[in-house]
Amino acid sequence: MTPTQEPPTQKSGTALATLRELPQNVWNSIFRNPLPSTDLERSSTSFTNFFLHIHPVKVNKNTLRPTYTMGLGLIATFLFVILVVTGVLLMFYYVPSTTQAYDRMLDLRGTVAFGIFLRNMHRWSAHGMVAIVFLHMCRVYFTGAYKRPREFNWVLGVLLLLVTLFLSFTGYLLPWDQLAFWAITVGTSIAGYAPLVGKQMQFVLLGDTTVGQEALLRFYVLHVAVLPAVLVLMMAIHFWRIRKDGGLSRPEVAAAPPPDAGVVKIKKVYGLQGFVRGPFTKLGNVPDNSVYSWPNLLMAELFVFVLTISLILVVALLFNAPLEQPVNVMHPPNPAKAPWYFLGLQEMVSYSAFWGGIGIPGLMVAMLFAVPYIDRTTHGVGKWFAKERLLANTIFLTLVILNVIFIVIGTFFRGPNWTLVSPF
């Protein structure tokens, strides 16, 4: 029993008293703390509540600065939650069969209550998640947050980005319309350009030599079971690592000299919590720049959640998810385009199949994994575009801009036979 918990309230032992006290006793058995009003209660709430215990009791003020994280990691997390909820609801209607999938899409549009709205929310959240995870990676890079001790969390992040892309890609096929069919045909043919194992990889992915029933089933299973499970597991490790790495990155704080420095040689003493990394756990050597997670961090998270869901609701109300004609394998659209996030690749493939589809992207991903192990410096952490990181930031920014330019060209400036056209 925690110090703040109500003692058992059985007074008279009569059946009537038991009944009267029932609601309060049930409530107390679930929520061990009253709404916290003292620091002890704030700490205790973070420790004992299942949903809150992922948070530290206190966080550094820098973590709460909206301009530092932009809330991007949180937005990605909430988008994933929205995707799971809307995705499960969609599963009640969807059938992964080439003869039924498209009709089910029409049902969602025509007969299922709020069906179109559900599909819109799912679709726009998926696109949003790809973009936000990419932006979150950029924020981590530009603030130098991948550096020691966060190298492994960066590597986990790169894996999270790849799984997010693959999750979105596998979902793309499910409506089984012309857009889905040809985007996946183009996307999987890029995988086929890999030397030696390319064709085998493509076959494993499709379960056949072309996109058909086997591919639809494989993509469905990957999309609704395998990849979400992998993503949840990796996200859990990602969050756990944030705690173990001492919270979010922040600028280094100069240690204050001990008040009696030079007078008596004090042997430094650590409390048990000194084993956990992070400045505010060490005794008396840095200013305490932290605040309680309850309510500060919680309110910030709630705000980001409300913002995310409101935005998705508005977008889902205003714009319908695309649904083109049913699949016609004899009539490829010209040009057939991959999903937008792979259009940079498709653009590069138009110059060189191997280098555009495999060589350069493979090199980029390898470089992403290697970044924290190549850059072993420790300066410029916790600050956007720190002067000390001018070269590293310039290289990364150039690659990001190039990628965006290629995606924009592929999306808006490519017409029939992949010739350049004006979108205006």
Residues that bind ligand HEM (CB under 6 A): 69, 72-74, 76-77, 133, 136-137, 140, 145-146, 150, 153-154, 157-158, 160-161, 164, 235, 238, 242, 248-249
The two structure tokens encoding residue 353: 């199949």
Q: Are 383 and 390 in contact (CB under 8 A)?
A: no
CB of 348 to ligand HEM, least distance (A): 21
CB of 403 to ligand HEM, least distance (A): 14
Q: Are 109 and 323 in contact (CB under 8 A)?
A: yes
Q: Is the Cβ of residue 292 or residue 396 nearer to ligand HEM in the bound state?
A: 396
CB of 411 to ligand HEM, least distance (A): 22
Of all residues in this chain, which one has the CB nearest to ligand HEM in the complex? Answer: 157
CB of 255 to ligand HEM, least distance (A): 20
CB of 69 to ligand HEM, least distance (A): 4
CB of 237 to ligand HEM, least distance (A): 11
Written in H, E and C, the secondary structure of 193-219 is CCCCCHHHHHHHHHCCCCCCHHHHHHH
Q: Are 182 and 332 in contact (CB under 8 A)?
A: yes
CA gap 1, 11 in Å, rounded: 19
Q: Is the Cβ of residue 253 or residue 353 nearer to ligand HEM in the bound state?
A: 253
SS3 state of residue 47:
helix
Q: Is the Cβ of residue 72 or residue 180 nearer to ligand HEM in the bound state?
A: 72
- From residue 29, alpha-carbon distances to 32, 148, 208, 231 in Å are 6, 42, 55, 33
The two structure tokens encoding residue 50: 């299942």
Q: Is the Cβ of residue 145 or residue 227 nearer to ligand HEM in the bound state?
A: 145
Q: Which residues make beta-bridge pairs with 414?
A: 420
Q: Is the Cβ of residue 55 or residue 414 nearer to ligand HEM in the bound state?
A: 55
CB of 312 to ligand HEM, least distance (A): 16
CA gap 104, 14 in Å, rounded: 58
Candidates 21, 49, 51, 22; CA nearest to 34 is: 49
Q: Is the Cβ of residue 109 or residue 243 nearer to ligand HEM in the bound state?
A: 243
Q: Is the Cβ of residue 44 or residue 249 nearer to ligand HEM in the bound state?
A: 249
